Each structure stands twice: as structure tokens, then as C-alpha cells.
Amino acid sequence: MAIQYKTLDQIKVMRRAGLLVGQTLEMLRTSVKVGMRTDALDAIAAANIKRGGGTSNFKGYHGFPATICVSINDEIVHGIPGDRVINDGDVVSIDAGAIIDGWHGDAAFSVIAGSVDPQDQKLLDVCEESMWRGIAAGSVGARLSDIGHAIEDYVKSQGKYGILQEYGGHGIGTEMHQEPHVLNFGKRGHGPELTPGLVLAIEPMITRGTHKTKVLADDWTVVSTDKSRGAHFENSYCLLPDGKPFVLTAIDGGRERLGSLGVEISDLIQ
């Protein structure tokens, strides 16, 4: 399958979907509480996506039964919300997406509920920063593998973390998952050159231990084989005709975090 390059007008619609995802995740971030069931988070997301004029791209995706993924501790991604109660100190990873007028947004974050173990906090901080560095490296004129290289390079510089190998980022547009697949590791200088119109979801998934995973009997939940805790951060970003990026699922378009890495965002969209 070929990469779907988007026009500026199409990306403007994708921004509406991305902003709704970003706002929904912000609402979820402030909603996560010790003692709460994970399906309560799902209900909050479903209501907010509906209120924003979107529909869920997760619900029904290959039979996925919920609006968001909620993954706790050694669950890294694709956890199904349900009657599980969030405990003090849990690492809670939430992945959400929405469709507006046929265009998709997809993003994720991890947060700690209640008491914070500094080692868990560092895991989250490293994962999040690696995502921003991946986006910063994925500039116009770079090659696709430069993104994964930047992610791996940063994660490895911070300690002994496992980077998941079987899961990665992806193109996004009129489907949630499009070409190209974006590895979270690798050498620089491989794959297609990045050009305006490209829209990618960048999503490092790392653990405090192994990179090895297995899928639980529910056929969805991805856990680390050594039960080490994981983190997952994701944003969907685009490259625009002025040669600059814009992070569609970040409320500020990525201005602050990309700015801290010396990357200026586009002002072609808001």
C-alpha cells in the first residue's frame, strides 16, 4: 500500500479530529483516580468524543469492545477497560482516537495514580521525551528511520529500558493505521524521505525491563513477559507545505515541547 499524502485542507480536518482526541486525553488525565474502575474512564471518553462531534475509531476495530485502551502496570498497550480498579501507585496508560468527517486522530499517554515511585516516573518521562524527540527528528528532508533512531538513541541514553519491537507508529488519515509502519528503533538514513503532506502517529512503548511481550487470553492486552511496568506515549503529527511540523493531537500543536528541542511548529493551522 502506498503512503497517503494529505492536502492542507485535509490536514485541517485532521486537526479537528486530533484536537478532540487531545482534549479527551487531557480530560482523562485529570480523571484518573485511585479506586476508580477503568470502564469509568471509557465512559468519560465516549461522552466527550460524542460531544465533540466525533466517533470512536477504536470501538469495533477488529472487534475491540471499547472506546479507549486502558493498560495498567505490566500491561503496556491494548488493555480493555472493565471492572479493574486502579490502585495506589499504578501506572495507567490510556490510548484514544476519534474520527471527524472521515479523518482520524490517535494519541496516548501514561500517568501514575496516587503515590509516585520515582523509577516509574522516570520511565514515563523517558518515554514521553523519546516521543517528542522522534517527532522532532521526523522533519521534512529526513528519512523515516531517523525517527526510530532518535527514539532509541534517547531511551538507551537514559538507562536499561526495553523498547517494544512488535509494535510501533504508523501513518494515519482516512484509516487509523496506514503505511508506513514506524519503528521505535533502528539506524538513521533508511526508508522514504519525509515530505509535506505526511501524517504519522509516533508512539514509543517502553518497559523497565524486557522488550519481550505476550498477548493475554482476551486477545488484546499486551503485557511484558517479565512483568516489568511499561509506558506508552503517542501523538499524531503532520508535515506542512511550509516545511514545518504541527502536532495534530497536542492542544498547543506541539509548540512548547518541540520548541524545547529547537523545532518551530507551522502556523498554517491552529
Report the interface residues with Mg ion, using CB under 5 A: 106, 201
Give 106 or 128: the residue with its C-beta nearer to Mg ion: 106
**Distance separating alpha carbons of residues 228 and 209, to the nearest angstrom:** 5
Least distance from Mg ion to the Cβ atom of residue 231, Å: 15
Least distance from Mg ion to the Cβ atom of residue 170, Å: 6
Give, in order, the Cα–Cα distances in Å from 107 to each of 54, 116, 188. 15, 23, 25
**Distance separating alpha carbons of residues 30 and 42, to the nearest angstrom:** 14
Least distance from Mg ion to the Cβ atom of residue 29, Å: 18
- All three cell numbers of 184: 521505535
Give 65 or 241: the residue with its C-beta nearer to Mg ion: 65
Give 108 or 268: the residue with its C-beta nearer to Mg ion: 108
Least distance from Mg ion to the Cβ atom of residue 202, Å: 9
Least distance from Mg ion to the Cβ atom of residue 201, Å: 4
Q: Which among 94, 107, 100, 77 is positioned nearest to 40, based on CA atoms?
A: 94
**Distance separating alpha carbons of residues 212 and 64, to the nearest angstrom:** 23
Q: For residue 72, list its beta bridge partners.
A: 92
Question: How many CB atoms lie under 10 A from the CB of residue 219?
Answer: 11
Give 21 or 86: the residue with its C-beta nearer to Mg ion: 21
Beta carbons within 8 Å of 256's beta carbon, 6+ residues apart: none
Least distance from Mg ion to the Cβ atom of residue 18, Å: 12
Give 184 or 187: the residue with its C-beta nearer to Mg ion: 184
Q: Compute the Cα dihedral for 246, 199, 53, 97 and give only its sign.
A: negative
Give 72 or 201: the residue with its C-beta nearer to Mg ion: 201
Q: Which among 234, 232, 229 is positioned nearest to 89, based on CA atoms?
A: 229
